[in-house]
Amino acid sequence: MSTPHNTASSRKLSIEDILDLRAYERVRDESRAEVIELKKLRRIALGPVVTLMFENRVTMRSQIHEMIRAEKVMRDEQVMEELHAYNPLIPEPGQLSATLFVELVTEDEMREWLPKLVNIESSIVIRLSDGSEIRSITEESHAEQLTRDYVTAAVHYVRFELTTDQIEKFALSGAEIASDHPAYQQSVSLHSSTITELLSDLWA
């Protein structure tokens, strides 16, 4: 099952893009294999406990299909609810969108890290070669239910908005992802293959 190249006009998903349960089951193995390979380019480990997954139309369609499968969704109204939740996470031209995971395994880790990492979702930057930074913006539709004053959630949704000049610098000279959170100072350079992949989100 091939995936069409994103265009600005086709980025947001409609109900016609979502397969019913039986149709999805027939293509699920092949579809998941393709998405797993795609996610390898889009997943960034930032230090020991934070991971960013840069989302696009393909990853969000896969997420909706898996949610519908898990919940055995049959009605169009329920599919529309999933579209309403996940369409905002598909980046428009000039944007990158990411799911931020605080990846903790044990209760001790959660007790240690979740209070320390309050506001982590506002502390991620894309740092360009000239030292300029593009700071993460919390996705508004999810912020209210995920943001707390005393403890962070394990999942956040963020986006980055780049100007044309910033996109050109990103393309030509690369970038790194960094956290400037007081309790979590981390950075990682983006591989050239990831830069190339993310440019498909940024260009119109």
The mean pLDDT of 171-195, rounded to a whole number, is 98
* Alpha carbons 197 and 95: distance in angstroms, whole number: 13
Q: pLDDT tier at 166 (50, 70, 90 boundaries)?
A: very high
On the question of pLDDT at 6 being above 70, the answer is no
- Can you give the pTM of this predicted structure? 0.90
Measuring CA to CA, which residue among 137, 47, 170 is closest to residue 101? 47
Percent of all residues in the chain with a pLDDT value above 70, rounded to a whole number: 91
Domain ranges of the chain: 12-202
Please answer whether residues 6 and 200 qualify as being in contact, where contact means their C-beta atoms are separated by less than 8 angstroms.
yes
Tell me the backbone φ, ψ of residue 194, rounded to 5 degrees: -70, -40
pLDDT in tens, 35-85: 999 999 999 999 999 999 999 999 999 999 999 999 999 999 999 999 999
Please answer whether residues 201 and 95 qualify as being in contact, where contact means their C-beta atoms are separated by less than 8 angstroms.
yes
DSSP string, 114-169: HHHTTTGGGSEEEEETTS-EEE-EE-HHHHHHH--SSS--SEEEEEEE--HHHHHH
Going by C-beta distance under 8 Å and a sequence separation of 6 or more, which residues neighbour residue 37? none
Residue 145 identity (one-letter amino acid):
Q
